[in-house]
Structure formats: structure tokens, C-alpha cells
Amino acid sequence: MSKWSNKYIGLKYKFGSHNLDEGTDCLRLVEEIFKREKNYHIEEDGEPVTEEWYIKNPERLIRQAVERGEVINDVSQLKEFDIVFFKTKNSVRHMGVMIDNYGRFLHQLSQRKSRADDLNARHWNKRFFCAVRIDWKK
């Protein structure tokens, strides 16, 4: 597991929070990781993405990521900092960030603390929708 990821493990859940000390949800966790670790901001029309926007338009977030990177459908090809998207209840509703090149990803589940899980575990592998590797130079 990468050194940078340790500081994001164990965060409390709080829907829509912009303050990691208060808690976070899966979108905010991904957003904060990219802002702090890669100086990259997830935005829509120059404004920060809101949780309400994401819930109504999750596919737009994927499209935005795809515009800046490459879609990866093969789990074995994933690398650190790839964004992983999961399909639940017939739509893309969950996301995380790869924390190594061996299948571990960091995410925030509702009503639980943020944690690292193995993408190769049956639960996550069957829900895997796609991943996006961002071109950080764009």
C-alpha cells in the first residue's frame, strides 16, 4: 500500500462534506485525493462538483474523467491513482482510487469508515464498471 493512502484510511462517513475532519463520501474522498496528491480538481463548468449533481449525473463524471484520460476495462491493468467506478442498483453509484498496482483501492462506503479493499474480491470484482487513468499533464 502506498504511503500517501494511509492518511485517508479510517475517515468517518458524512454525505456531501467538504471537510475531511468531519467525514466524507466516496465522491469527496476521490476529489480530495486528487486535489491534495495530484493538484487536480474535479469540476463541472469550472465549479466544484456537488454530491447532488453526482447523484443525478454519475455518467457525466465518468465522461469528464474519460475526456482527460483513458478507460481501462481490464482489472489486471490498473495502476495507482486510477479512478475505479462501480455499478450498483443498475447505475454507476460508487467510486474509489487505486492505491497500488496490485488491486488495492481506497473508497468510502455509506455509514462506514473509509478503507482499502481488494478489487479482485468477488464482491467488488462483479460490481466493477470501468476505470479511468487520468493524464496528469492535461
DSSP conformation class of 94: E
60 or 6, which is more confident?
6
Task: Supply the pTM of this predicted model.
Answer: 0.84
CA distances from 133 to 17, 19, 34, 81, 97 (A): 25, 26, 12, 7, 10
Range picked from 39-53, 55-69, 123-137 for highest mean pLDDT: 123-137
Domain boundaries, given as residue ranges, for the chain = 4-134
All 3 cell numbers of residue 52? 447532488
- Its CATH class, for the domain covering 4-134, is alpha beta
The answer to whether the beta carbons of residues 32 and 24 sit under 8 Å apart is yes
12-16, 46-50, 106-110, 118-122: least confidently modelled range: 46-50
Q: What is the mean pLDDT of residues 17-28?
A: 85
Q: Is a pLDDT exceeding 60 seen at residue 9? A: yes
Q: Is the predicted pLDDT of residue 51 greater than 70, yes or no? A: no
pLDDT of amino acid 96: 94
